[in-house]
Amino acid sequence: MSDVFVSYASEDRDQARRVVNLLVDHGWSVWWDRTIPAGGEWAPELDHALARTRAVIVLWSSHSRASTWVRHEATIGMEKGALISILIDRTAIPHEFSAHQASDLSTWDGSPKFAEAEALLAGLTNLVPPSRLKEVRPGYDPAFLSKRVVVGLPAVTGPAVVLRYLHFTVVIHPGRRLAHYVAYNIAGKELTPVPFEVRQEWTADPLVPRSTQITVALTTRSEYHRGHLVSPMTVCWGQPDTAAASARHAMFLPNVSPQHGDVNTGSWFELEKWERRLATKHSRAIGLSGPVFSRDDTAFRGEMELEDGVVALDSFRLPRHYWKVIAVADRGSGLRVATYIVANVSRDTTGSAPTRASLAELQMATGLRFPEAFHTAKPLPDLEMSGQRLARKAR
């Protein structure tokens, strides 16, 4: 059984492939006529697939409107109560199918940033949740460093939502609409440049309620950047398709946090480069990073309209610090860890450089509880930044 049956005219195969790739990339299993085995009987195979699919997506064009087969497949989807129409040119949807959910992808270039593509994925999620989510979004692997060195996720204080992606996991604080932290795996020997087409703007995760994600407008025209908690460059590793998918996931809004521009392009960027060098040197590394939440964090453009017109007041606040933990496994010496805290201030402010902190200090500041493996680990050498070795300095 497939999640989705994609119906289209043969002349529209290129557009169909874009839609199929989008759906597969986000966890749906898709049946389209390229899956008919060589020598198979076409009509029986189609009817069998239609009977077993959970939803039918029809690509409407001047070609498909004239296709008896496409209309037949659309009728089956309508009878199932699971029909979604997609316009791929300026042709109108046939009247008998116009009352069902539709998306206009007539000017879509294949980017998931496109608003109508986001709406399609969100609508399809409500109708048919993706069945392959664990395959395309397996999340952080606690045994990534070694089967003998299993490093689990920290416990949080307060509400949390766990979001799994490719090579990393985001643990969201739904009230703050920011992550408690992001935990990620880095295969340093397999790192690859982020593909140009993936270097897109931030986009909402279509499989996650918008009420748990900040909006891009919240940091527009301010001194704060939409900073990555884990950089796309850090999780862009593996086979080309896998690396590109992970980099795309790192551009979803749950991975964003408001960082002062000097932090995002300065001390935080230096930390990101350092962790990739460590991962390359040791072949593998794991990282965790997140904001330090405080009750007295400054409110910042806090009004946001959520689903059904509900307005959340004063719920977006600026973290005053960020933290990062890097861990590697050395042969013979076990787990080795470094922990840093960065003030979310301009570089002209005293104390803006990354500061080495103990795990106990980090736990006290964040309310997190790190697994025992971190507490028994040996320290990593200090970060080297701009040719200067940073002194250990407790906070």
Q: CA 45 to CA 76: how far, in whole Å?
A: 15
Interior/surface letters 18-43, b for 16+ CB within 10 angstroms, e for the rest: bbbebbbbbbbbbbbbeeeeeeeeee
pLDDT category at 388 given cuts 50, 70, 90 is very low
In angstroms, the CA 179 to CA 108 distance is 31
Contact between residue 25 and residue 245 where contact means Cβ atoms under 8 Å apart = yes
Q: Which part of the chain has CATH 3.40.50.10140?
A: 4-133
Residue 206: pLDDT band with limits 50, 70, 90: confident
Q: Are 164 and 153 in contact (CB under 8 A)?
A: no
Q: What is the tens place of the pLDDT at every residue in 4-23?
A: 999 999 999 999 998 998 89
pLDDT at 69 over 80: yes
Query: d(Cα 89, Cα 62) in Å, to the nearest integer?
Result: 8
Element (H, E) at 102: strand 102-104
Topology given in CATH for the domain delimited by 4-133: Rossmann fold (3.40.50)
Q: What is the tens place of the pLDDT at every residue in 140-168?
A: 999 999 888 899 999 999 899 999 999 99
Distance of alpha carbon 136 from its chain centroid, rounded?
11
pLDDT in tens, 216-242: 666 677 888 889 999 999 999 999 989
Under a CB-based contact definition with an 8 Å cutoff, are residues 73 and 46 in contact? yes
Show the tokens assigned to 283.
Answer: 């072949």
How much is the pLDDT for 264? 92
Mean pLDDT of 50-65: 93
Q: Indicate the pLDDT class of residue 308, thresholds 50, 70 and 90.
A: confident
| Residue 241 in tokens | 């398709």
Residues 26 and 207 sit within 8 Å (Cβ to Cβ): yes
Q: CA 60 → CA 87, 106, 304, distances in Å?
A: 5, 10, 36
* pLDDT for residue 221: 73
Specify the fold of 137-389. Answer: Extracellular Endonuclease; Chain A (3.40.570)
DSSP notation for 36-73: SPTT--HHHHHHHHHHH-SEEEEEE-HHHHT-HHHHHH
Mean pLDDT computed over every residue of the chain: 87
End-to-end alpha carbon distance in the chain: 56
Return the pLDDT at 393: 38
What is the pLDDT, as a whole number, of residue 395?
Answer: 32
Assess whether pLDDT exceeds 70 at residue 352.
Answer: no
Q: What phi and psi values does residue 284 have, to the nearest 5 degrees?
A: -140, 150
Give the pLDDT of residue 376: 92
Considering only CA atoms, which of 339, 340, 345, 341 is closest in space to residue 318? 345
Residue ranges of the chain assigned to CATH 3.40.570.10? 137-389
pLDDT band at 213 (very low <50, low <70, confident <90, very high): confident
Tokens 């289209």 label which residue?
Answer: 8
Q: Which residues pair with 275 in a beta bridge?
A: none
Tell which residue, 263, 251, 276, 394, has the closest CA to residue 326: 276
Overall average pLDDT of the 335-346 stretch = 93
**What tokens does 285 get?**
């590394």
Supply angle C-alpha 180, 176, 171, rounded to 5: 25
Confidence of residue 330 (pLDDT cuts 50, 70, 90): confident
Q: Residue 362 — pLDDT band, cuts 50, 70, 90?
A: very high
